A and B are shown apart, each in its own frame.
Chain A
């Protein structure tokens, strides 16, 4: 009797699906077993990936088989890695600050530059260009629709930003309240924020529902194969 790999994986996936679904009755050992196995398998797999896809091809192999130039290039990250390893020893933990400082500095520069170039400026430009009637022909929409879309996007952006303006001035009765215009705009902005969060919630629910459908479908297919 030949046991196919698909059958084994189907049985395992079926069992683990039941173990996870047992959380419906609350936290129980079956659910914990499944979680612990997932965590252990994931950790082992990540360690294997780090060794075989990072350390070996990017550090050891260039050091052993690389040219002098490659070895010299590898020496710098190797030194950084050794410095970070010094965190193991409290006395030498300070040496890790050198590599950590380099990583944090480089990471901050990359993130800020990427956010500025890839998000802030393009998004601001897009908001401004929402009223570009010339894009109507490109996007095959009418000018009115372009203006309406642009106005809606602009209003949503402005009102949402106003909602996060918390500056207030004291009133005669001693209470602290924002200006009337800002308060009204914030109220409108709150509607946009609510719609956005509702959309996100709907997306989350749709994603979870799809995952549940996939699992139930797998269970049905598992029984259907027999």
Chain B
């Protein structure tokens, strides 16, 4: 939704024309646009345009407004004092002293509780007016960049603040340095710091700036560069002048050897090499020496106090403005007129060696800068020579205090929106999750009663019992022994093959005739001559040996006696082909012809539904025979229109379910026609109840039934007889094996029980 501005702080929706969030008063409209045109950064040498930003006054924080008011008052007081005491301020400026600029800062420093050594560094307690660059100040404040950094940096530097003892030490030598600075104004060549004045001076050690920044023009150029970068760093010349005074005033014991010998370096060498050397020297190395610490403490103190002073941070160019008029109005005084002893820069080989060691890691930018011929070094008094911020070497950028502060703050949380935008480490990383107070101490002693503890123990016992493995009773598994298997196979094969091969008739056929077989015999003998008989062939080819042996005697007798017209049908896909095998096999002697004496209706689909449909209307259900001829017009089915018109129904099956289906589904359709089932021995026990219930007329089951029937058929066709000895031996062997195995197992059980009883 482009018409709604979402507050980056509270996330609430605001109208696009609102400048502040109506919920949290967070600024929604940025004060600065793209850095173009009027908002473009000020370049070196460019005089900032004064803008009337009074309308922005109300939005400033209270502390900033207070600081601004205080600064105005200070400026007014300083202006009055300058008017009243022109003579006092004149010495600082008349001596072409760059520290004269500190006079204007002295007042601010004093009010900002600067150390005494810094406040009295120039020896003059004077206040200079600061130029008001409120426009840029407002911008910095609202952007939250400069002040925020200053706050953080001040907070960080406060931890590194030197101890009072160190301050006192520094104060002594630095005070001496201030007193002697007026006497030391050696003519120095143009400082190389001008080429990288602003940015490099920010982090350049004081000693480096001391050696390099000697000329006023260079100072003014430095000031311009500082205004360009906006760092608000003090001009290098201030400290360099101070340090130069220190070099002449302090004794060799107070300064390190390498530093004291620096003063003897010729100007050309010192100016070109010293800054680079000092910038490469780590502070840690310097801090090892007490003198180095003493030298660093003033510069750090200056930065620290400056960062702590809001008014001064508001006007990063203010101190430059107060500085420039003084230097600008001062005529360039010859160095000879200065009342000081110039430094005696003599070449020291030892110092050169030390410097060579320090220049091992000279950055490329600095090394190239040091190689620039003096003629190409820009002079500080040319304001047109501007170094764009983008042209600054990377190592200079890295040395900027801003980067230094950011690098330290990188590990902290940086707020990206709201009133705290740009601030880091203000809020805890996990607000709301940090422990707000010490957790209460609770007693770990159980306060449950005995009853509760007993119940808990009972529950624990129950759970333990549930998870405990329960040993399962193991049973001895009867494994098939290869030897036993081969023994049984060999025995059965021998017992079967020998009678078959010898065609023995050791065992007589079964005597007597069961009622079920007798019923089948009666049916076979009682059907009319040439009567149509329906035969259902529903057995698997694997049972063909048994089924043919069981069915052949009955059909042989029936054909011999009654010459029935047989109609075959099967609910098994292979039944039709088995019919042909049966006719051409055991009944081949009768020479029955298809379509004349018998008819094969083939496969009857549908299972029980098909049988039911065939029982109700056989002509529609099975209209064709296997030769795709009209079945019900053929001779075997002549005059037959329904199931009840058949003379008999014979089901030959090896499956009790098939027999049951035929019995059930033809119950109402077959009427009173005889129904005989010729089944396998395995299905006979399940079919026997249907004979007991008189639902079927007879039952011939297995080889036993066939053998019985053969006895009443003059031993025809003789298949059962040929199998009977082998069958009898096989059955005896099976009974012996079963009985012997049972006795063996029983004996093993007795032995185990006896062993267990003895063990007990």
CB B184 to nearest CB in A, in angstroms, measures 101
Cβ < 8 Å to A, chain B residues 15-65:
none
B689 and A123 form a contact (CB under 8 A):
yes
A203 and B684 form a contact (CB under 8 A):
yes
Q: In the bound complex, what is the Cα–Cα distance between A200 and B549 (angstroms)? A: 20
A207 and B546 form a contact (CB under 8 A):
yes
Q: Which residues of A contact B173 (CB under 8 A)?
A: none
Residue interface mask B490-529, A partner, CB < 8 A = 1: 0011001100110000000000000100000000000000
B681 and A54 form a contact (CB under 8 A):
no
A203 and B496 form a contact (CB under 8 A):
no
SS class, residues of chain B in contact with chain A: helix
B695 and A118 form a contact (CB under 8 A):
yes
Measuring CB to CB, which residues of chain B are less than 8 angstroms from any residue of chain A? 485-486, 489, 492-493, 496-497, 500-501, 515, 542-546, 549, 573-574, 576-577, 602-603, 605, 607-609, 612, 623-624, 626, 628, 654, 660-661, 663-665, 667-668, 680-686, 689-690, 692-695, 701-704, 722-723, 726-727, 730-731, 734
Contact of A214 among B545, B682, B701 (CB under 8 A): B545
B660 and A203 form a contact (CB under 8 A):
no
A207 and B702 form a contact (CB under 8 A):
yes
Q: In the bound complex, what is the Cα–Cα distance between A210 and B726 (angstroms)? A: 9
Asked if A179 is at the interface (CB within 8 A of a chain B CB), the reply is: no
A206 and B682 form a contact (CB under 8 A):
yes
Stretch at the interface among A89-97, A182-190, A215-223: A215-223
Asked if A144 is at the interface (CB within 8 A of a chain B CB), the reply is: no
Measuring CB to CB, which residues of chain A are less than 8 angstroms from any residue of chain B? 24, 42, 45-46, 49-50, 52-54, 56-58, 61, 103, 106-107, 110-111, 114-115, 117-119, 122-123, 125-126, 139, 153, 196, 199-200, 202-207, 209-217, 220
A212 and B682 form a contact (CB under 8 A):
no
Q: A53-B603, A118-B664, A126-B694 are in contact. Are A210 and B703 (CB under 8 A)?
A: yes
Q: A49-B573, A117-B664, A203-B683 are in contact. Are A125 and B602 (CB under 8 A)?
A: no
A56 and B684 form a contact (CB under 8 A):
no
CB B436 to nearest CB in A, in angstroms, measures 57
Q: In the bound complex, what is the Cα–Cα distance between A56 and B628 (angstroms)? A: 9
B602 and A210 form a contact (CB under 8 A):
no
Closest to A57 in B: B624
CB A194 to nearest CB in B, in angstroms, measures 13
CB B619 to nearest CB in A, in angstroms, measures 13
Contact of B681 among A122, A139, A206 (CB under 8 A): A206
Closest to A117 in B: B667
Q: Which residues of B contact A110 (CB under 8 A)?
A: 608-609, 612, 665
Closest to B683 in A: A203
Q: Which residues of A contact B665 (CB under 8 A)?
A: 110, 114, 118
Q: Which residues of A contact B497 (CB under 8 A)?
A: 216, 220
A–B complex contacts, Cβ < 8 Å, 15 sampled: A49-B573, A49-B576, A49-B603, A50-B573, A57-B624, A106-B609, A107-B608, A118-B667, A153-B692, A199-B685, A204-B681, A210-B727, A212-B492, A214-B723, A217-B726
Q: In the bound complex, what is the Cα–Cα distance between A57 and B683 (angstroms)? A: 33
Q: Which residues of A contact B626 (CB under 8 A)?
A: 53
Q: In the bound complex, what is the Cα–Cα distance between A153 and B667 (angstroms)? A: 23
B730 and A213 form a contact (CB under 8 A):
yes
A204 and B664 form a contact (CB under 8 A):
no
Closest to A211 in B: B545
CB A64 to nearest CB in B, in angstroms, measures 13
Q: Which residues of A contact B544 (CB under 8 A)?
A: 214
Q: Which residues of B contact A216 (CB under 8 A)?
A: 493, 496-497, 500, 726
Q: In the bound complex, what is the Cα–Cα distance between A53 and B602 (angstroms)? A: 7
Closest to B493 in A: A216
A210 and B693 form a contact (CB under 8 A):
no
Q: In the bound complex, what is the Cα–Cα distance between A215 and B497 (angstroms)? A: 10
A125 and B734 form a contact (CB under 8 A):
no
Q: In the bound complex, what is the Cα–Cα distance between A196 and B542 (angstroms)? A: 24
CB A57 to nearest CB in B, in angstroms, measures 4
Closest to B492 in A: A212
Q: A114-B608, A220-B500 are in contact. Are A45 and B577 (CB under 8 A)?
A: yes
